[in-house]
Amino acid sequence: MEPAMFDELLQRIGPRIQKKDTGWRKALEPGVKLDITIRHLALGDKYPSLMYNFRVAKNTIACLIPEVCRAICEEFQDEVIKCPTTPDEWSLIADEFKNRWNIPHACDALDGKHVAIRCPPNSGSLYHNYKHFFSVVLLAMADADYKFLWIDCGGFGSMSDAQIFNES
């Protein structure tokens, strides 16, 4: 990630993830929180590795990564993932599919991805999928430029893409 992009991201989400110092401890800087989160998301570093690289406890990392991810989603949700609502907006997307990919009358590309999870207690076979592991389904719709238009996450692994789409 370019330093300028990191700085812009930090400027936008910094106030959302800033904590106050207390008498017990000094709060982590927002830049450190963002750095840990980006490293975890981009490289898949595990919490013990992050703990030694950044000198931050695993239990703190386990709390701050979801917090930073939530802040990023809240900050960018309206400008990054925007589903068209008017026929004209859909027509522009269809034109782009035709021009770029030579696929006429296509408005979007829709697909699901199984994300492996541990079996939740007392869930029976709801999360068990046809690939023989437990999962939740991330269903996403993208335009011709690979930009997300719509996302639904949390479908049971046993559900098909069509079932998840119909219930969304």
C-alpha span between 48 and 99 (Å, rounded): 48
Exposed e or buried b per residue across 92-117, where buried means at least 16 C-beta atoms within 10 angstroms of its C-beta: ebbebbeeeeeeeeebbeeebebeee
Domain ranges of the chain: 3-80, 87-167
Spatial contact of 118 and 105, defined as CB atoms under 8 Å apart: no
**Structure confidence at residue 58 (pLDDT):** 95
Q: What residues in the chain have per-residue pLDDT under 50?
A: none
Q: How far apart are CA 78 and CA 13, in angstroms?
A: 14
Kindly report the length of the chain. Answer: 168
Q: What is the pLDDT at residue 165?
A: 87
pLDDT digits (tens, 9 = 90+) for 125-139: 899 999 999 999 999
pLDDT 10s digits, 145-156:
999 899 888 899
**pTM exceeding 0.95:** no
Query: What pLDDT, on a 0 to 100 scale, did the predictor assign at position 30?
Result: 96
